[in-house]
Amino acid sequence: MKRVSIQDLKARLSAAVSEAESGETILITRHNTPVAQLGPPRIDRVHRGKNVGTRRLTPAVKRGTNGQYLRILFADRADR
Mean pLDDT score of the chain: 81
- Structural domain contains residue 21: yes
pLDDT (tens digit per residue) in 7-36: 999 999 999 999 998 889 999 999 999 999
Read out DSSP for 32-64? TEEEEEE----GGG----TTTTTS----SS-S-
In sequence order, what are the beta bridge partners of 28? 4, 36
What number is the average pLDDT over the span 37-48? 74
- Structural domain contains residue 60: no
Domain of 15 in residue numbering reads as: 2-38
Total domains in the fold of the chain: 1
How far apart, in whole angstroms, are the C-alpha atoms of residue 25 and residue 37? 7
The pLDDT of residue 40 is above 90: no
- Kind plus residue range of the DSSP H or E element containing 29: strand 26-30
